[in-house]
Amino acid sequence: MSQFLKKFLRENEGIFSRKRKPAIYLGACGKHPGWDDHIDDIGLDTESLLLAKQVLYVDGIGGQIDSGDWDKLHENQRLAEFKHIILWKRGNAFLLGRIWSSRDGKNRTKYPMIACTHCVSVPLPWGLTNVLPALEEVEKLCKSTNSAEEVREIIRRTLAALRQSLGSASASQSNGKEVALIDQLGLAGQREKLFRITYHVCTRLGDSSPNASREEVREATSGEVRLPAASGLVSQTLGFWTHFLESQFGTGVPILLALPLERRWLDATTGEPTSREFYSLRVTPEVLAIASEVPYDIDDEFRKAHQSTIEALMAA
Per-residue pLDDT of the chain (316 residues; tens, 9 = 90+): 788 999 999 997 765 555 678 999 999 999 999 999 999 999 999 999 999 999 999 999 999 999 999 999 999 999 999 999 999 999 999 999 999 999 999 999 999 999 999 999 999 999 999 999 999 999 999 999 999 999 999 999 999 999 999 987 654 455 555 568 999 999 999 999 999 999 999 998 865 444 444 544 454 456 899 999 999 999 999 999 999 999 999 999 999 999 999 999 999 999 999 999 999 999 999 999 999 999 999 999 999 999 999 999 988 7
Residue environment code for 222-248, b if the CB has 16+ CB neighbours within 10 A, otherwise e: bbbbbbbbbeebbbbbbbbbbebbbeb
Contacts of 37 (CB under 8 A, 6+ apart): 31, 104, 105, 106
C-alpha to C-alpha distance for 230 and 235, rounded to whole angstroms:
10
Which of 125, 136, 135, 137 minimizes the C-alpha distance to 166? 125
**Domain spanning 3-167: CATH 3.30.450:** yes
Give CATH 3.30.450 domain extents, the chain.
Answer: 3-167
Q: Residue 136's CB: how many other CB atoms inside 10 A? A: 16
Residue environment code for 77-107, b if the CB has 16+ CB neighbours within 10 A, otherwise e: ebbeebbbbbbbbbbbbbbbbbbbbbebeee
C-alpha to C-alpha distance for 69 and 277, rounded to whole angstroms:
13
C-alpha to C-alpha distance for 228 and 197, rounded to whole angstroms:
9
